[in-house]
Every structure is written in structure tokens, then in C-alpha cells.
């Protein structure tokens, strides 16, 4: 089957097997290896990406289901060499150890903050409950998400103009 999908602002058209998972398409065809294959059962969330602006587990979506859609991967969050505020907060707050869950955690966190720009600790934990981390115990992850929320508030600095980072740059007037 032929699909056309926009990934990180670039449109791709490819023939794919009807049974190819979106995570396989992103990694194997497009080289978007930041999208991690964790469990293949949608339990861990390591493969989380944004499909049309909302987080999904790409191991539970077929590539053909993404036909005509926009996908944002962890590679697509940074702009012009500057990390997204959530990426920066994960770095600043040491919210990663082995790094395996980090791309999915960041993608889910961006979606969480778009829906709830000022989550308390409980809201962060509930918003990330579909993503598993085996290293950190979530303390620094929660801290990072709350820190990112603080930095993304209007008037908080350069990040303030990033209202909804789920929107790919070309749709927001970028490249």
C-alpha cells in the first residue's frame, strides 16, 4: 500500500506492507531511531510519538493508519538547534538514567503540558502512567515536567511563545 505521511515537517510517500507498524516505518524506513521499540505490546510507552498533535504508542498503530497524517518524533521537537523546553528540563533535572524511556516520556510530557499547562505532581504522575521507567523512580521525571511547565508559561522567557509544541513547525508557520 502507498502512504503519504508528514514526519517532523517533511512529507514522505512510500509503499509499505499493510502489517507494518508505525514504529517500524519511522525507524527502518525514515531512520527516526529516537523512537524506541520497547515492548511491542504498548505497555511501556517508549515508542510514543505525536500523531496529528496527540501522543500515541507507535507500536500499536499501523503505518497505513498514519496515511495523510502528521507525525512528530523526538527528533522533531528541537527547533534550530535549541532543545524543546521539555527536553531541556529533562536534561537540567537529571530526568534520565539509561535513556531508554526518555523519548517516549518526553513526547508524552509535551502532550500532557499542552492539555494541562500547570499540572501538580499527581497530575504529572497520572499523565505519564502509560509510560514506564525502570531506572529513576519517576522523581526527577516529575520534577522535570513541572519545571518545563514553569518555563513554558507566558512571560517566562523565550519558551513562552511556544504555546502548543504538538504542532509541527511547518504548520505553525516555520519551515
Q: Give the model confidence (pLDDT) of 99-122 as tens digits.
A: 889 999 999 999 999 999 999 999
Reading phi first (left if > 0) and then psi (alpha if -120 to 50, else beta), residue 2 is in beta
Q: pLDDT of 19-45, one tens digit each?
A: 999 999 999 999 999 999 988 788 899
Domains and CATH numbers, the chain: 2-75 (3.10.20.30), 85-161 (1.10.150.120)
pTM of the entire predicted model? 0.86
Cβ atoms < 10 Å from Cβ of 72: 26
Q: What is the pLDDT of residue 137?
A: 64
SS3 86: helix
Closest CA to 157 of 145, 167, 147: 147
Any idea which residue has 512510500 for its cell?
Answer: 14
Grid cell at residue 158: 523565550
Give 9-12 contacts, CB < 8 A, sequence gap 24+: 9/76, 9/168, 9/169, 9/170, 9/174, 9/175
pLDDT greater at residue 174 or residue 45: 45
Mean pLDDT of 135-161: 81
Amino acid at each position: 500500500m502507498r502512504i503519504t505521511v508528514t514526519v517532523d515537517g517533511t512529507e514522505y510517500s512510500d509503499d509499505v506492507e499493510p502489517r507494518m507498524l508505525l514504529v517500524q516505518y519511522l525507524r527502518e524506513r525514515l531512520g527516526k531511531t529516537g523512537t524506541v521499540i520497547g515492548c511491542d505490546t504498548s505497555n511501556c510507552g517508549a515508542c510514543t510519538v505525536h500523531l496529528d498533535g496527540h501522543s500515541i504508542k507507535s507500536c500499536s498503530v499501523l503505518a497505513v493508519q498514519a496515511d495523510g497524517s502528521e507525525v512528530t518524533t523526538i527528533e522533531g521537537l528541537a527547533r534550530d538547534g535549541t532543545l524543546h523546553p521539555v527536553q531541556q528540563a529533562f536534561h537540567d533535572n537529571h530526568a534520565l538514567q539509561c535513556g531508554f524511556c526518555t523519548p517516549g516520556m518526553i513526547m508524552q510530557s509535551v502532550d500532557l503540558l499542552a492539555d494541562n499547562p500547570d499540572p501538580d505532581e499527581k497530575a504529572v504522575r497520572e499523565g505519564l502512567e502509560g509510560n514506564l521507567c525502570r531506572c529513576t523512580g519517576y522523581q526527577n521525571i516529575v520534577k522535570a515536567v513541572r519545571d518545563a511547565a514553569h518555563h513554558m508559561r507566558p512571560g517566562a522567557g523565550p519558551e513562552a511563545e511556544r504555546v502548543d509544541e504538538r504542532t509541527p513547525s511547518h504548520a505553525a508557520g516555520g519551515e
